[in-house]
Amino acid sequence: MSWFSRDDPGNEKLPKLDNGERRVRTEGLWQKCEGCRQIIWKKDLEANWSVCPKCAFHFRVDAVSRLKLLLDGGEFEPFDSTLTSGDPLGFVDSKPYSERLRAMKESTSLSDALVSGAGTLEGRRVQVCAMEMRFIGGSMGCVVGEKIARAIDRSLAERSPLIIVSASGGARMQEGAVSLMQMAKISAGLMRLDEARIPFISVLTDPTTGGVTASYAMLGDLNIAEPGALIGFAGPRVIEQTIRQKLPEGFQRAEFLLKHGMLDDVVPRPEMKPYIARALKFFVA
C-alpha cells in the first residue's frame, strides 16, 4: 500500500491554510486504490470495510480488524496472545530468526502471524482465527500451528463453530520441517472437529498460498474467498516454467477458482458476516 506524498493531486480538495499552504496536513489522509487508481479519502475507505467505494477493490485488512469485522460489537476474547516461537533451528539468513521475530513483534505488537479469539457472530458463539500478513508474510510456523490447534480444542470443548481467515505466504522457511509439520497437526485437529460434526468455515483472503492453501485453508466445510484474492500453491512464474505453457487470464484469482470448482463461493467483505451467519444456521440449526 502506498501513502500519498505531499505533491499528490488529492491535495487540491483540501482547504487552503491561512498562509496559502495546501500541503502540510495531507499525509496519510488519502489513499490510492490499487484497483481503479482513483484517490480515496481514507475515512471513506475505513467506513466501507476497506473496500474501494468506486471499484470494490478489497484492500488487505490486518488480523485484529478481521476479528472485529466478524464478531458482534467488534468484541472478542483473545487467546494465547503471548505464545512465541523458540527458534527451533537457530536459523540465520540475512539476519538471525530470533532477531527477525523480535523486530516483527515490535512493529506489529503481535507475538506471531495469527490472532485467535472467541466471540459471538450474530448471537452465535464462535472461535475465530485470523492470519496477519505483516508478520513475516503471514507465514505458518509452530506458533500459528499451535494457536489453531488450541482453537480447535476450544471449539470441541464448547461445541462452537470454527472460522479461520487465511492470509499467508505459506510455511515459515525459518522453521524448516517444523513449519511443515503444522500442516499435518492442524489437518488432524480438523478431522476431530469433523468427527464431532462441528462446522469449520475457511475464509481465504488475498493472498493465500503455499502450505496454508495445501492444508487447512482448503479443508473447510465451506471454503469461501474474498473477491480478487490470490489463491494458489506455487506462484504463477514457477508453474509457467514447469509446464512450459502460458497461464490463462485471472489464473489463481478467487473468481477463476470458483469457476473451476476449487471454492464454494466468492463473498464480498461487507456480506461476509451475514453470509457466515446464514451458513452456520444451516449447518448447526
Binding site for Zn ion (CB under 5 A): 33, 35-36, 52, 54-55, 57
Least distance to Zn ion from the beta carbon of 38, Å? 5
Q: Which is nearer to Zn ion, 58 or 172 (CB)?
A: 58
Instruction: Write out the DSSP string of the chain.
Output: --B--TT-GGGGGSPPPTTS--STT-TTTEEE-TTT--EEEHHHHHHTTTB-TTT--B----HHHHHHHHSGGG--EEESTT-----TT--BSSSBHHHHHHHHHHHHS-SSSEEEEEEEETTEEEEEEEE-TTTGGG-B-HHHHHHHHHHHHHHHHHT--EEEEEEE--B-GGGHHHHHHHHHHHHHHHHHHHHTT--EEEEEEEEE-HHHHTTGGG-SSEEEE-TT-BB-SS-HHHHHHHHTSPPPTTTTBHHHHHHTTS-SEE--HHHHHHHHHHHHHHHH-
Give the whole-angstrom CA distance, residue 75 versus residue 69: 9
Q: Which is nearer to Zn ion, 36 or 191 (CB)?
A: 36
Least distance to Zn ion from the beta carbon of 168, Å? 24
Q: Which is nearer to Zn ion, 54 or 150 (CB)?
A: 54
Least distance to Zn ion from the beta carbon of 41, Å? 12
Least distance to Zn ion from the beta carbon of 227, Å? 12
**Closest by alpha carbon to 223, among 164, 156, 148?**
164
Give the whole-angstrom CA distance, residue 78 versus residue 97: 26
Q: Which is nearer to Zn ion, 55 or 247 (CB)?
A: 55
Least distance to Zn ion from the beta carbon of 115, Å? 27
Q: Which is nearer to Zn ion, 35 or 176 (CB)?
A: 35
Helix orientation angle between 269-284 and 63-70, rounded to the nearest 10 degrees: 60
Q: 211: buried, middle or exposed (CB in 10 Å: 19+, 13-18, 0-12)?
A: buried
Least distance to Zn ion from the beta carbon of 89, Å? 42
Q: Which is nearer to Zn ion, 35 or 235 (CB)?
A: 35
Least distance to Zn ion from the beta carbon of 193, Å? 38
Q: Which is nearer to Zn ion, 33 or 133 (CB)?
A: 33
Least distance to Zn ion from the beta carbon of 142, Å? 38
Q: Which is nearer to Zn ion, 147 or 269 (CB)?
A: 269
